[in-house]
């Protein structure tokens, strides 16, 4: 399911970012202007969410495939969920200056 | 997610890794490469977010433009193409796995693999022709 969604978002992302305006320079302003449109925000945020879920779920599969200990599986699953939520928030924070005019978490 | 195809001798003795590798065929290599490309793409995701965040958070729009401009240099375009190879392989082999999950083509998994790799090679040539002229030589 996440793989099928990922195919859609990756193709949309590649087309919008790299091929729709092939040769045009990517600047802070062009990204800002693009992210005024809700569809582009949906593609970027959707790609972020799905790629984080799909990638970390794959990593979880690799980590737990050789263990039969339910406690170890639970611990890995919990750690992966925490890492996933943190990564999603981090990714939205990268987008935040374009979406809200300022970063969420400026250090 | 499926487990690896591991062959052990009938007498229970462990094989030498080279002997195990010698038993690998197209399907097993496809599975190994699927995992390897998946982990590399996941590592790239974090690298990508860290590079973007350091520009966007700390340096402002002028440096963002300068850094993004520098990313069109030939070494970075080559890196983009390498990333495209990883994504293309993982996506096309993923389509093959989804077809098997839906009950299609599992009896011809090897033909599906090489057919999709052929499609991937054509897409790779098209992407290279499109991206390489963008490199600032």
Complex prediction ipTM:
0.83
> Are B45 and A51 a contacting pair, CB within 8 Å?
yes
Asked if the model's pLDDT at residue A80 lies above 90, the reply is yes
Is B46 close to A87, i.e. CB distance below 8 A? Answer: yes
**Structural domains present in chain A:** 2-100 (1.20.1300)
- For A33-47, what is the mean pLDDT? 86
pLDDT in tens, B28-58: 899 999 999 999 999 999 998 888 877 665 5
Nearest to A32 by CA among A79, A106, A98, A94: A98
**Spatial distance between the Cα atoms of B127 and B89, rounded to a whole number of angstroms:** 14
Q: Please tell me which residue of chain A has the smallest CA distance to B94.
A: A3
Q: What ranges do the domains of chain B cover?
A: 26-134
The pTM of this model reads 0.80
Is B26-134 in CATH node 3.40.50.300?
A: no
| Contact status, residue A51 vs residue B91, Cβ threshold 8 Å | no
Q: What's the count of helices (H) and strands (E) in chain B, helices before strands?
A: 5, 0
Instruction: Give per-residue pLDDT as tens, B116-133.
Output: 999 999 999 998 888 777
CB spacing of B49 vs A87 below 8 angstroms = yes
Q: What is the pLDDT of residue B41?
A: 94
């Amino acid at each position: 399911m996440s793989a099928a969604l990922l195919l859609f978002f990756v193709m949309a992302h590649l087309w919008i970012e790299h091929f729709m305006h092939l040769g045009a320079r990517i600047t802070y302003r062009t990204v800002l202007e693009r992210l005024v449109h809700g569809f582009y925000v949906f593609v970027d945020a959707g790609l972020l969410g799905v790629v984080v879920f799909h990638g970390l779920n794959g990593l979880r599969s690799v980590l737990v495939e050789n263990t039969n200990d339910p406690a170890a599986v639970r611990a890995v699953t919990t750690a992966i969920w925490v890492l996933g939520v943190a990564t999603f928030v981090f990714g939205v924070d990268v987008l935040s200056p374009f979406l809200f005019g300022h970063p969420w978490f400026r250090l | 997610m499926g487990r690896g195809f591991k062959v052990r001798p009938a007498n229970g003795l462990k094989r030498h890794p080279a002997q195990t590798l010698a038993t690998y065929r197209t399907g097993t290599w496809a599975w190994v490469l699927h995992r390897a490309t998946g982990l590399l793409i996941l590592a790239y995701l974090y690298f990508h977010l860290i590079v973007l965040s350091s520009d966007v958070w700390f340096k402002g729009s002028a440096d963002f433009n300068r850094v993004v401009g520098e990313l069109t240099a030939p070494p970075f375009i080559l890196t983009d193409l390498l990333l495209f190879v990883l994504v293309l392989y993982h996506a096309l082999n993923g389509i093959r796995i989804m077809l098997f999950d839906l009950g299609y083509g599992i009896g011809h998994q090897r033909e599906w693999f090489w057919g999709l790799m052929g499609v991937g090679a054509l897409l790779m040539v098209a992407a290279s022709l499109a991206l390489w002229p963008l490199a600032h030589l």
